[in-house]
Structure 1
Amino acid sequence: MVEHILQKLTIRPEQFGKVAVVMGGWSAEREVSLMSGQQVFDSLTSAGVDAHAVDAGRDIAAVLNDGRFDRAFLILHGRGGEDGIVQGSLELAGIPYTGSGVLASALCMDKWRAKGLVSLKGVVTPAAQEVFSLEQAEQAASVIGYPLVVKPTNEGSSIGVSMVNKAEQLAEAFKAARRYGPVLIEQRMTGIEVTAGIIGGVALPLVSMKGADEFYDYKAKYLADDTVYECPVDLPADVVAAIQEMALTAFSALDCRGWGRVDFMLDAEGQPNFIECNTAPGMTSHSLVPIAAREAGLDFPSLCLHILADTLSTEELAA
């Protein structure tokens, strides 16, 4: 399966036309997006693609139309870029773009609803409740039990996330997450964290990661040099295959397309639990999809070209 995606790309760089690498934006993940976007831009230009870095504003569709861009490589993270808003504006403008469409983008940004949908397909996910007040958070904690993860329902990159081991920590954690909107109170898994990158309908080799601190937070993801990555992961082959299958099931249930990343935590018994699905994962030097792709034999420029190739129409592919 992995060999299939390595072999199928026979695209000439000029077939992509003028490409906007859309990055930045106005979300809490702006800086991460700029880092990802620069890496993608550098790789596409080195591969001979006519790529242009575009810092997204709310007029992004007009900017791309006025600039006569043929397609967009969307590497926006967070709300306003990864939640279907920009995707909808590009649909109206008739500009092809990478990654998932409006529905999938919106669903995956909403962790609460994403968990509900994948569970209908038999994918296990930790017990959780969405809350809007500290009183509701306390009630949820009493039902779910400690330890907990407290996080914004609609953010990524571990922004606003806290590990809560006892009741005395809950109020501060709720306040930190509530800054970003609704809050998810979720059962905390005690096993390792693993992630499955997906491209072209194929689940890439799994990656596990561990930060030097208590959990894999923003610092560990993008800044620290002591984060430990393992690919391939040290898990039995049948467990790896089961996680990859769960990732593909969740990806399909959420109507995702093109590429993405599905995250899991293992519980104390080693059972994988779905945490979330990312429709525009990080593409920085520390990011997980490039690590998995490299293990599958796909270097970073080739990965970017594969992602971009999904925007080509049948007619363009035949040209």
Structure 2
Amino acid sequence: MSGFAFPAPRSSDPADFGRVGVLLGGTSSEREVSLDSGRNVLEALQARGVNAFAIDGIPALSRALVAGEVDRVFNILHGHNGGGEDGIVQGLLEAFGVPYTGSDVLGSALSMDKIRTKQVWLSVGLPTPKYRKVTAADVHAQAAELGLPVVVKPANEGSSVGISRVFDDAGLDEAVALATRYDGQLLMEQMVVGDELTVGILGDVALPSIRIVPKGQWYDYDAKYKADDTQYLCPGLDGADEEAIRHLALAAFRAAGCRGWGRVDVMRDRSTGRLFLLEVNTAPGMTSHSLVPKAAGQAGIGFEELVWRVLEQTLADPSQENRHA
């Protein structure tokens, strides 16, 4: 697919990276996905000659940092509460002065909180479904205000964990009971009926969109990570619509304070064609079912090169050094 201008690589020498810890696993609800992603990233880096090794979880990372055993970190630790997408790992690495992939403390913490991400987007005029912060006590009243159907989910989880789609008042209590198994606030938002799309971000480039077509009615955890019959159409849209979703995704990524790489999830209303932002993933999956590698491949970037380009963002940018020389 033409039309993608990627900058020249910052390095072609794997020795420039030093000792690279691939941070994976952890204790979040997304541990198994992170282990799978991490194995793929580790193999890709080692295949390119990088001195890379696995680090499972934050305590192991802390010990490696104290011992001075790691020069930079490829963070593929998904989720929060023992994951690496909520700003805690980023703060730890900042304190030790160790470069790492992906968004910084602010971008990571903000994007992990779907409610506050929505507040930022709305403040700069970016479209996202109407929502409420809910508790079990007022869930029925808030659903009535929004209008059914609605989606109920934990505000701080990913990978479709704890999500329910609710079409009648009778289903609300069960949806809340599921979502409250996870820490943090609950989010209820208007359900957008239409196409589910996602846009990967690599540096300053929005990759081709992907339209996700599960065999079942919903793109749930099984459809994401286990099923082999989910269809991924890339690019997901055509012409001006494709340009619009890529522009919107990049604007949303930047507004949330994100950097490096990530993925922005979007819904397209089937009746109006309007786009609505759902969330940003700051350490997206890198499994055989994952979406950023699919989009990068469509743009001419293979998996090993994708992993290299994510890691090399931890190196100084020669163009910036020349600018300030």
TM-score range, shorter chain: over 0.9
Partner of 2:173: 171
Aligned to 1:20: 21
Aligned Cα root-mean-square deviation (Å)? 1.7
Output aligned runs, 1:38-57, within 5 Å.
Answer: 38-57=39-58
* Paired AA for residue 308 in structure 2: L
Choose from 274, 279, 282 the match for 1:279. Answer: 282
In the other structure, the counterpart of 2:70 is 69
Structure 2 distance, partners of 1:59, 1:129, is: 38
**In structure 1, what is the Cα distance between the partners aligned to 2:65 and 2:5?**
33
Judge conservation of contact 2:210–2:295 (CA < 8 Å) in 1.
yes
**Distance of 1:62 and 1:90 partners within structure 2:** 12
Percent identical residues: 49
Instruction: Supply the distance in 1 between the matched residues of 2:19 and 2:279 (Cα, whole angstroms).
Output: 33
1:270 matched to 2:260: no
Q: Secondary structure at the match of 2:59?
A: coil
1:139 to 117, 141, 144: 141
Structure 2 Cα separation of the partners of residues 39 and 209 of structure 1? 22
C-alpha distance in 2, partners of 1:211/1:175? Answer: 26
Query: Contact 1:206/1:232 (CA < 8 Å) preserved in 2?
Result: yes
CA distance in 2, matches of 1:294, 1:59: 33
AA partner of residue 104 (structure 1): G
Shift of residue 140, structure 1, vs aligned partner: 1.3
Matching residue's letter, 1:304:
V
TM-score of the two chains, using structure 2 as the length reference: 0.93
Question: In 2, Cα distance between the equivalents of 1:154 and 1:18?
Answer: 32
Aligned partner of 2:222 in structure 1 is 219
The one of 298, 303, 324 equivalent to 1:300 is 303
Asked if the contact 2:110–2:117 (Cα under 8 Å) also holds between the matched residues in 1, the reply is yes
Where in structure 1 do 4 or more consecutive aligned residues deviate above 4 Å?
Answer: none
Aligned residues: 315
Q: 1:167-316 to 2 correspondence within 5 Å?
A: 167-180=169-182, 181-233=184-236, 235-267=237-269, 268-314=271-317
TM-aligned CA distance change 1:6 to 1:224, over 3 Å: farther
Cα separation, partners in 2 of 1:199 and 1:69, compared to 1, 3 Å: same
1:41 positional shift? 0.5
Amino acid at match of 2:102: G
Aligned in 2, Cα 1:314/1:298: closer, same or farther, shift over 3 Å? closer
Normalised by the length of structure 1, the TM-score is: 0.95
Q: Give, in whole Å, the separation in 2 of the partners of 1:25 and 1:229.
A: 29
- Residue 19 of structure 1: how far off its partner (Å): 0.4
The residue identity in structure 2 corresponding to 1:178 is T
The one-letter code matched in structure 2 to 1:291 is K
Q: 1:115 to 1:33 in 2, by over 3 A?
A: same
What are the superposed Cα offsets for residues 280-307 of structure 1, whole Å, 9 maximum, x if unpaired? 0111000000000000000000000000
Query: Does 59-68 or 179-188 show the bigger shift?
Result: 59-68
Q: Which moved more, 1:177-186 or 1:9-18?
A: 9-18
Aligned to 1:93: 96
Cα 1:238–1:130, aligned 2, differ >3 Å: closer, same or farther?
Answer: same
Q: Where does structure 1 lack aligned partners over 5 or more consecutive residues?
A: none
Kindly indicate whether the alpha-carbon contact (under 8 Å) linking 2:146 and 2:190 is maintained by their aligned counterparts in 1. yes
Do the aligned partners of 1:129 and 1:186 also contact (CA within 8 Å) in 2? yes
